[in-house]
Each structure stands twice: as C-alpha cells, then as structure tokens.
Chains A and B, each alone.
Chain A
C-alpha cells in the first residue's frame, strides 16, 4: 500500500454515506456548516455574475455603434457602474471567500471554521447588499459615477443611487472583513496536529495572504466611503472643492483599498491554480516555497502601489517614481508563480481532457498578458498616455477575467466532485473552455489597440474610426455570454444525475480528498493522518530507483518529507513537529 493510499484509507469517516446536507432547500437556511456556506457563496455569487455579465453585454451592445442609440447616456453610465461593482464586490471577491470557506477547513483537517456563526453572518450580508444595489435600477436612480465614484462627480449625480452604492459597498466590505478574520483564525489555530505552515497546501497560503490584505486595506475604503456619505448627505466638504475639500484625498483613500482589492481578487485563484496544476499534471508543485512566499510578497507590496492609479491626477514627480518602482517590483513575485506553474507542467502527465486543467492552463496563458500590460502601465510616461482608456479596460479584464474568472472555473471543475459527490461532464466542460477562451480574447484583445489609438473609457459614444474594433469586442462579449450556458447546464444536470465520483476521483493528496464526497458534517471523525505531503506525486516511482532531482536530499524528498510518517504511526513524529512549527 502506498503512502497516499494509507493516508486516504486512514481518514475516511466511519459513516461514509452521511453527507453534510441532504435536501436542496437546506442550502437556503441559516446553516453554520462551512461547506454549506461555501456552496451558498459560490451559487449566489454565480447568479450575480450572470446579472453583471448581462449588464456587460448591454454595455457592449451600446458600443457596437459609435452613436448613443441603444440606451440613454445616463442608463449607460449606470450599467457600467453596476457591472463593475457587481463583478468586483459580488462575484470575484465573495467567490474567493466561497472556495476558501469550503476548502480551507478540509485542507487543514479542521472540523469547521473557527467562528461558524460569524461565518454565516458574513455570507448572509452579501445577498441583501447585492439585491439592494440591483434594485437601485428599479427606483430609476441607479449609481452612475463609475465604480470608483470619484467626487465631485459622485456628489452631483443622484443622491439616492450614490447612497445605495455607498451602503451596499460598505456592507460587502464588512462581510469580507468578517470572512477574513475567520479564515485567519482558522488557519492559525485549527490546523490538525503536526501540520506546519510549510506543509500547508498552497491554497491555504493564498488564503492567508488574502485575508491579511483584506484586514489592512478594507477599513480605509470604509472610512473614505463614510466621509463621502457625509459630503453627500450632511453637507460636509471633505472632498467637495466648493467648500475647500480635496477630491484627490478621496482618490488616495479609495485606491488604498481598491488596488489591494485586485490582489484580494487574484491571490485566492493563484492558490486554486497551484492546487489544480499538480493534481492534473501528476507532478509535485515546482518551487513550493517560492510560490508560498511570493503570495506574501504580493500581499505586502500590494499595499504600497495604490498611487499608480493617480499618475495623471497630479501627484509630485518623486511620488510617481516611487509608485512606479513598487508597481514594477510586483511583477517579480507574480513572474515566479507563472514560471513555477510552467515548471510543474513541464514533464508531467497532463490530463488535458479534464476542464479543470484546461482552465488552469488558460489562466496562466491569459493572465500573463494582463501581467505584461500591467508592467507597461506601471511605466509613468506610458501610463500618462493610456490612463483612463480602453488599454486599461483591456488590462484589467485580462487580469480579472483571464485571471480570476478562469481561476474560479478551474476551481469549480476541480472541487465539484468533492462538493456534490458527482462528476461533471468533460465534453461540455471542454466546450465551455473553448468558448470562454475565444470570447475572452476576442472581447478584450482589440481593446489594447483601441485605448492606445485614442478611445477613452466609460463613453457611450466614440469616434467612428473605432467602429470595427468595437464590433469585434461586442461579438466577443456575446460569445462570452453564450459560453456560460454549457457550464450552467452541465452543473445542474451533473449535480442531479452525474456519475458518482467516489471520494478521490483525481487521486489527489491534499486532505480535502481524504474524506467522503460530499464530506460529512464536521469533515473527519478524528484528526486526520498525514502520511504524505500535499504534492508528493510520483514518489512510488522514486522508490523504484528513479532519482528525484539532483539537488540535496532534503530538496529531493520534497518540502513535505517530514510529514511522511510510517503507515503504523498515526501522527507525524514529535521531532517533525518541533522542527517545523
């Protein structure tokens, strides 16, 4: 029996057929089980994604022609404002929280989150806040000052819409702070005995870095928004120039959160990709520590780059240089991850028929484009040219769609068997992948050129010479809309009738696969046995005499070798614990 099999058989709960939840309607209850909450997050945020996506398609329909002919300019502005707000605050950020909720306690062998009720509260803030935001369209005064909501514009557009926007974002920010506290405490205090930080799955490292970033940056946004609300409703002039206020101060406060927010949106999915690639290419993750520590580096550096959004709003020259350098440096830890993933794929046995791996490869391939344009944007003289143009729109969508959203899909396909106990259909997953990649590149690639040639963002009408490129973008957006259909049908059908998955269909080694599918309430009967590290693929072969690597023995044995207890030993030895914790 290999160590992986030892680990698997030792941890399956005795009552294997007892899932955490039996009836579909239980997903609509105030449940405190982290798995139920995780699925609640994922399903509700996906619904918001569809709504935000529909708005994006309305925006693109308007932009198919240079004239304003589909919606009024006011409605157009509301549409892109709501699209951005929904996608950021109601889809990508909470979807990351959904995966973390579901997977994190399982991965560290915990029974639940540290604060299950707080966890439920954090989730149940999200749907009302989202519905309130969308309802603002119905009252006819939706926010239309852009998702950045810069004063003085946000102070002169409608009060109702702007007030709803502020309230909704404050609630969602509160939710993500509550979630982050929970993740941090769970991760620090509830790991199974012997599981040191350097043996954690990389998704946990990513969750750790993300949560720390949320805790530091979100309160600043809240402060900025509360002051903005005072300006809007109480007549103060913190940001209002007519009373001597300074609009640029708002920009500083806003971006102090909202730049880190892009890392809050991407780091969890860096974690997802680090889980998906080794499992489906049957190789240990390449450069475990490099990937783990680069998450922390991104988290820290993410806090000191915000002013690169303000290169044209008039900050001193030396400050622009400072923020240029810090922004450039972020490319280094990000590059480390990209190359480490490529190193993992290199020489593996890639299960390309599985959509999870396809989406992971798609993630690396498109995210790198967003990363490259990010470095370009960091260069101040070039940023001055393309700031607030479609080049920026292209960049951010390559990062957030080509990155985060593909990461979410990879995570869905990877963990679906664990969550539901059933397999998704590979063929429809492949169709979904192809449509998504084609639609994504068709929509966002031409935008780079549009921006550089002179198309500013957030406009309902534009120079007719840009018509052709805009048409391509619009049809790409329609393909993207269509691409979600095979996914939705696949998920619903497979959840009900899909083939049974078994506990560990991918033969993965991380702890979440060492329990039943779907996992029982409280996950494990007793603290799980760790017989192998999270990414020790191919070690059987090593025993047959294939050299691991030409590096020193510790490296050859892998970063998790200390955890490899003998089969008759229930927990890793004391020495290992002393050495590593």
Chain B
C-alpha cells in the first residue's frame, strides 16, 4: 500500500479541515431561526455539517483517487498486493467514527436539555410499579388486581381538564367522540415533549394556547381570553406553551423557523414550549400524513410586538363577542364542529374547500 508522504497528508488534512469548517457554517440549508430554541438547534446542525463535510470529502476523495490511481492499465493482468488487513488502521477507523458520534451525542443531549426536552413531567413515568415496590412483602404475592390504584396525579388528565375549561376549546375537541381524559399508560403527562427550558421549570409560561388539529385545519384557543382563531399570533420574546391534541387522526405541529415539531395525537395531550424571537409571519405546517388534503393543512404563525399582539387580541375578542351574540339562539353543543365554526371561517381564514371536506366527514 502506497502511503502518501507525510507532508502531503498534512497539507490535505489542513485543507480538508478548512473546507469543512467553512462549509459547515455557510451551507445555507436552514431557514431563518425565529426562536431561541432554533439557534441552539442550528449550532448543533452546523457542527454535524462540519464533521459530515470532512467525512464526505475523505470518502469520495478516496474513491476518486483510487479509481484514477489504481485503475488497471491495459495489458496488466496481475493481481494487486495480497494485503488482508492492518490492525492499527482498523482500530483507528473504528475509533474515529466512535468518537465523532459520541461527541455529537453529547452535544445533542446538551441542546435537547437546553430547549427543555427534560421537562419535569418526564419523571412521572410508570408510578404503578414503584407503588408496588413500596409495599413490604407484597411484591411476590401481588397480582394485577391487588395493585392499589395509583394515587399519583394523572398529569394527562389535569392537562386535559385545564384545556377543556375553555369552552371554545371544548367545542372543537369533540369530547363525545374521543375521550380526552384517559388513563393512558404511564399516567404522567402522556406525551412529555419539549417543556420549559432549565431554570424555568415550575414557572407558568407567559402565554398558553390550546391547539387542536383536525382534518385539515389548525384551531387555536386562547384560554385567558376565550377567543378561537385559525391563525396563531404570539408576542415576541415571551415563552409560549402550546397544549395540543387532535380530533380525528394524527397531525404534527411544525414551524420550520422554530425548528420545533410535535405530533398531535387524538386522545393525548402534548405540550411544547418555545420563545419566538423574530418578528414575522411563518408557515405552520402539518407534518404527519393526515389524509388526501394533508398538503393543504397549513396556517400562519404571526410573531409580533407585544403591543400589536394586545391590539389583535382586543380585536378578536370584540369579533368573538359579536358572533356569540348572533348565535345565541342555537346551542353550540348540538352543532358539529364544522357547523359551529361556519360563522368564524371568514375570520380564521379557512377556505371553503376545506370546510366542504369537514362537512363530508
């Protein structure tokens, strides 16, 4: 095996490092970062991109070099040198990827923690088993029916109750069809997702929005003011908590500029917290296949200055009161979600085609 001279190796190594470092930070592959979380995720991606560029160049470069340098010359029917292995070399190229993925894992862990991945809800997993273990002598004899009912708080149920206290939320989350309060396995907040960032545990977020996904629209209710909209407005620089669920099939809440995604699953509550930090209007996309019109299930997230947000909120409240007064003759509970929503469609930007779909369901 011909080993390139050490000087060449060094020069190629330096060049490779510089190219990787440059490309890793100038790839232009990500959209604007519009939340505090997005900046952290981008840092992770750029680091992975640096390592990836290096590996990519080494492998492709090695293949192209081999193809040129070691191609069989005409008339040469000899075999190559019978090299079966080289233990130090094999150890080296096992160790390098191992170290790289270990590094990426640690970095990912750190980012995940910083964006609130380890919210306190996650520790409430499977309390039934721990309960059984606390009872002296009961462990062996205990059968399933002997297990006392859990006294741990059912966070899923609490979360759901909280969301349902808002009548607007209750109206769209067809309670009669899909029970939102289940004793789902794990009892804790069933879908512990992206929670408060470290240092903010236990603190209420600045703004809570209940989100419901249904074929093919997103509905937002603001529990503090009771308004329902089809467009998410959030003030800049404040932590927002989204409590989400779905009415029919699985949807996924994705705002590319926030780098956050969470499935909205019927029968479950999931939460996600983020702090928007850049003014603008961003697409909210359903990322989980939810039927033929999945591609049309889009909405807007408007990040605006707090005063603009307050004004919007006021405006919505007035509009909402007006429609409620008009609709006082009908009992909303008797209406299907689509009928209930019909008067609002203009305000919340649902197209007639989408509404037609809903009627047919």
Contacts and interface: CB of A to CB of B under 8 A. Distances in A.
Contact of B105 (A284, A325, A348, A559): A325
B70 A331 contact: no
Contact of A352 (B1, B62, B71): B71
B44 A452 contact: no
Contacts of B44: 379, 381-382
Interface residues of B, number: 97
B222 interface: no
Nearest to A357: B67
Given A314-B263, A375-B48, A381-B41, A350 B294 contact: no
B122 interface: yes
A286 B29 contact: no
Contacts of B202: none
Contacts of B289: 77, 145-146, 148, 150, 153, 388, 457-458
A229 B111 CA distance: 41
A316 B192 contact: yes
Interface stretch (B178-186, B235-243, B322-330, B340-348): B178-186
Interface residues of A, number: 109
Query: Quick one: which of A312, A329, A453 has the most chain B CB within 10 A?
Result: A312
Nearest to A354: B72
Nearest to A4: B79
B86 A388 contact: no
Contact of B56 (A285, A372, A539): A372
A312 B221 CA distance: 23
A388 to B, nearest CB: 4
Contact of A376 (B48, B254, B256): B48
Contacts of A448: 29
A23 B25 CA distance: 61
B72 A351 contact: yes
A555 B86 CA distance: 9
A551 B295 contact: no
B263 A456 contact: no
A365 B179 contact: no
A382 B79 contact: no
Contacts of B102: 328
B105 A349 contact: no
Contact of A453 (B31, B60, B177, B193): B31
A555 B56 contact: no
B184 A246 contact: yes
Interface stretch (A114-122, A332-340, A496-504): A332-340
Interface string B265-280: 1111010000000000
B294 A459 contact: yes
Interface string A309-350: 000111011101100110011011001101110110111111
Interface stretch (A426-434, A479-487, A540-548): A540-548
A146 B287 CA distance: 13
B123 to A, nearest CB: 9
Given A153-B250, A372-B56, 16 more contacts: A152-B250, A153-B249, A241-B178, A290-B94, A313-B191, A314-B262, A318-B118, A318-B122, A346-B1, A349-B78, A384-B259, A388-B254, A457-B289, A549-B83, A555-B84, A559-B85
7 contacts: A241-B265, A317-B118, A318-B122, A328-B105, A388-B288, A549-B86, A556-B84
